């Protein structure tokens, strides 16, 4: 799905979004994005083998904004 539809679905359900192509198992970590309307903007959650870390903001690429492989997910 496109990013607009993913965010529209994730916001009321308090869920995360992610790109399937980025989280396809090639990386050692899973990257999730929590869209918000707070001053934290979009919160990034990175889940690795032995750690989970979070940071504020997200700087999407043009490819991210145009992609149609977005999905809504839980942690």
Q: What is the mean pLDDT of the chain?
A: 90
Q: How far apart are CA 68 and CA 2, in angstroms?
A: 4
pLDDT tops 60 at residue 44: yes
pLDDT tops 90 at residue 9: yes
Per-residue pLDDT reduced to its tens digit, 50-74: 889 999 888 899 999 999 999 999 9
Rg (CA), the chain: 12
Phi-psi bin for 45: left (phi > 0), alpha (psi -120 to 50), beta? beta
Q: What average pLDDT does this structure show over 18-30?
A: 73
Percent of the residues in the chain that have a pLDDT greater than 90, as a whole number:
64
Tell me the residue range of the domain where 20 lies.
3-60+67-73
Residue 9: strand pairing partners: none
Phi-psi bin for 30: left (phi > 0), alpha (psi -120 to 50), beta? beta
Structural domain count, the chain: 1
């Amino acid at each position: 799905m496109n990013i607009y539809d993913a965010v529209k679905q994730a916001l009321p359900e308090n869920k995360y979004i992610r790109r399937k192509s980025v989280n396809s198992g090639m990386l050692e970590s899973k990257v999730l994005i929590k869209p918000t309307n707070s001053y934290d903007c979009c919160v990034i959650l990175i889940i690795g083998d032995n750690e989970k870390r979070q940071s504020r903001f997200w700087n999407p690429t043009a490819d991210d904004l145009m992609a149609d492989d977005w999905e809504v997910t839980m942690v």
